[in-house]
Amino acid sequence: MHGGDGANGYAAAVAGFRWNIPPRYNIATDCCDRWADGEPERVALLRYMPGAPLEPVTYGELKRGSQALAAALAASGVAAGDRVAILLPQSVETVLAHLAAYRLGAIAVPLAALFGVEALRYRLANSGAKALVTDRIGLGKVATIRDALPDLSVVLCTDGADTAASADDFHRAIAGHDAAFETIATGPNDPALMIFTSGTTGPPKGALHGHRVLAGHVPGVAFTHGFPPRPGDRFWTPSDWAWAGGLLNALLPALVHGVPVVFGPFRPFDPEEAFALMAEADIRNAFLPPTALRMMRAVAKPRERFDLKLRTIGAAGESLGRETYEWAASSLRVPVNEFYGQTECNYIIGASAALGVSRAGFIGKPLPGHAVAILDADGQPASFDAEGEIAVKRPDPTMFLRYWQDDAATAAKFVGDWMLTGDRGVMDADGYIRFLGRDDDIIISAGYRIGPSEVEDCLALHPAVAMAAVVGQPDALRTEIVKAYVALRPDAEPSVALAEEIKRFVRRHLSAAEYPREIEFVDEIPLTTSGKVIRRVFRERARRKAEEISGD
């Protein structure tokens, strides 16, 4: 797929597009070896520290390091099909761990550094992870739940060995093995990656992807980022590489395209620091969640204050909105190419200013190679401008293979060959799709998809909580915030201090993205006859509260 101008460029891109994924395909080969074998000194990663020179890491270094790590893992008993959990922030070690897992034919299980012990316990146990690559912070969390993880037999720590935690030194393991490990000959449909996604009922589900998932993302990234590599291109995202957004919307496809990826220190997002990083590191291509862009609007005159060299901006994870779209076009002088997908099937709709596909308030058009429709209540494609459910047709290389150990949930995700997203949308006569909302109870806050069940379960662990209902409350900055309605036990009294204590409890046990930013105490939580929380009552209540706050 190549660039073009105007609507004719989009039509030609769609008409001329064909998937060409070879019968032997491995993620490590595509995003590393294809460059390392011909240009080993080509820069793959750039470590950013404020005020210091960028530190380059080459494709050759990534190949040698990941081959040695694969050999070390294999010597420890990790084999094809085994799950390798990766609990690290953005770092070289994160990339090496992913590439090593793919070389082994193992299944990488990325875990967010923000996760608390309960979130980690469930994901590590459910995936049956045999190996874990982490740092000292992650090791401290996992050490408290190690007895609940009987499958976990190999732990490598990037901060050095820890005898008490039965963890070996990550770097010593690499140094002690030969970099001649031969990558397993995998096919596109062989399992490679498992990313946990949250639903409205039950615990999080592991969306299992084949190696093809990367090949499926590469054209979409090209479409929304002006067909890289172009001279000077350099990629950055503040998104955690453990999330589908950071990993599959940015890191791995950028490496395939031969575009260096900048990564920086792990800390909360700050708009001033983001602008400074993009200026100092000469960022040309950025993937920025809409919440980050909204926060960046608070920085006055960014083009005047910072020497920005941005060429493209992609945004996804939640609705961008007309105001933020127009602000970016005027203040950053770069159009934001919004795109859409889910953990189960990502990068299926998008915009491309380079091809004339860009319209405020719309998430774009179906990307070349993807069959997307708005389905009516009967499961049939809806007419133009009629509301329905966004769906994508299989086969599709970005589509998951199945939910891990959950055939019933996998089957329920489909109607015939259409994978249902649970999101509502409208397609106009020009093919543009407008996102309307969700059928289910998923909360989208600052780009994170949060399942209320997991938060409710965590709240119930607090000794003062009898029952809780969790919903999304509309929020101008984050799209939604997590709002918890809590019924207390008879011996507990509602107070501001207790609400703050409960917030800290959930943040500690789950993550900084999932804890309720607002808690409201109620006398009771209404349930259905089957014992499920009736969340629609609270969603309406949260909506009214948001309207009161905004003054509408």
Q: Which H helix or E strand runs over 75?
A: helix 59-75
Structural domain contains residue 182:
yes
Structural domain contains residue 321:
no
CB 418 within 8 A of CB 393: yes
Structural domain contains residue 150:
yes
Structural domain contains residue 499:
yes
- Per-residue model confidence (pLDDT) at position 127: 98
- Per-residue model confidence (pLDDT) at position 324: 85
User: Amino acid identity of 274?
Assistant: A
Structural domain contains residue 13:
no
Q: Which of 246, 236, 215 is nearest to 311 (CA)?
A: 236
**Alpha carbon distance 242, 157 (integer Å):** 17
pLDDT in tens, 428-459: 999 999 887 667 677 888 888 787 877 887 88
For CA atoms 477, 238, 73, 210, give the dihedral sign: positive
The residue among 190, 210, 230 that closes a domain is: 210
Structural domain contains residue 294:
no
**Alpha carbon distance 21, 1 (integer Å):** 14
Question: In sequence order, which ranges of 225-327 are alpha helices (DSSP H)?
Answer: 244-246, 252-256, 271-280, 290-296, 302-305, 322-327
- Per-residue model confidence (pLDDT) at position 531: 52
pLDDT in tens, 299-358: 889 999 999 999 999 999 877 877 789 899 999 999 999 999 999 999 999 999 999 999
Structural domain contains residue 76:
yes
- Per-residue model confidence (pLDDT) at position 341: 94
CATH number at residue 508: 3.30.300.30
The residue among 183, 210, 237 that closes a domain is: 210
**Bridge partners for 514 per DSSP:** none
**Alpha carbon distance 262, 277 (integer Å):** 9
The residue among 159, 179, 210 that closes a domain is: 210
CB atoms within 10 A of CB 182: 9
| Domains identified in the chain, total number | 2
Structural domain contains residue 421:
no
**Bridge partners for 551 per DSSP:** none
What parts of the chain have a pLDDT lower than 70? Answer: 1-7, 198-202, 437-438, 440, 528-532, 552
Residue range(s) defining the domain that contains residue 523: 443-550
* DSSP β-ladder status, 388-393 and 402-403: unpaired
CATH number at residue 92: 3.40.50.980
Q: Which of 289, 283, 319, 312 is nearest to 221 (CA)?
A: 312
Q: Three-state DSSP class for 200?
A: coil
CB 385 within 8 A of CB 430: no
Write phi, then psi, for 434 (nearest 5 degrees). Answer: -110, 130
Distances (CA, A) of 119 to 204, 244, 484, 511: 9, 17, 18, 8
Q: Which residue has the tokens 């091809």?
A: 355
Distance of CA 89 to the CA centre of its chain: 13
- Per-residue model confidence (pLDDT) at position 321: 78
Q: Tell me how far apart the 2 most distant CA atoms of the chain are, in Å.
A: 69
